[in-house]
Amino acid sequence: MIDDKELEAYFGLNWDGKPGTHYVRFMLGQNQLAIEAAIVSNIRELPITTHIPGLPPYVLGVSNQLGNVVPIIDLRIKLALPLAYFNQERPMLLLVAIPDAMDASRKRLLGFVVDQVEALCFVRDEEKKTANKKSLHLELDPDYIIGKVRQSHLSTYLFDIVSWAQECVLYELQKKLTM
């Protein structure tokens, strides 16, 4: 687990000791989303994947990442966005450690394809606002948006990717793999 002081020293962030959380901010279509930085294991270009028949269409395949076989999830497909990538460059992969829903001490590494990784940002608790979830342009249950912050020209929606992945991805993958 990376603590705030380590992140501040490494990235030169202006952390003033006020309560808050570090987030990785990324683009997905017209949406700027952010997930907690502490659960992001790595950020890299989209790797070559091995297709596994019978998995849902949003699973591009699996890839060897950090010595683990990792399912690669295309968030555009899962969240019903058009397939053209935002910046026409190679999409990026966020490797995220998702705690097992039954045993939180076990983590499952998942790769999430995003259009572009924007920045690492620190969001003070006092900056978080309730999000108007109707302005999101994707099919995502509003319960997984835990707030909104405005630190750049776009509003950034804080995405609870852990709960979403546990309930909407891992459960479905486990069902498919046990059939």
CATH hierarchy code of domain 24-178: 2.40.50.180
| Three-state SS at 120 | strand
| Three-state SS at 6 | helix
What's the CA gap between 95 and 97, in Å, rounded? 7
Query: 25-49: per-residue pLDDT in tens?
Result: 999 888 889 999 999 999 999 999 9
Q: Is residue 165 predicted with pLDDT exceeding 50? A: yes
Average pLDDT, the chain: 82
Q: Is residue 12 predicted with pLDDT exceeding 50? A: no
| Three-state SS at 133 | helix
pTM of the model: 0.83
Res. 154 pLDDT band, cuts 50 70 90: confident
Q: Who wins on pLDDT, 102 or 122? A: 122
Q: Who wins on pLDDT, 150 or 86? A: 150
Domain boundaries, the chain: 24-178
Share of the chain above pLDDT 70, in %: 79
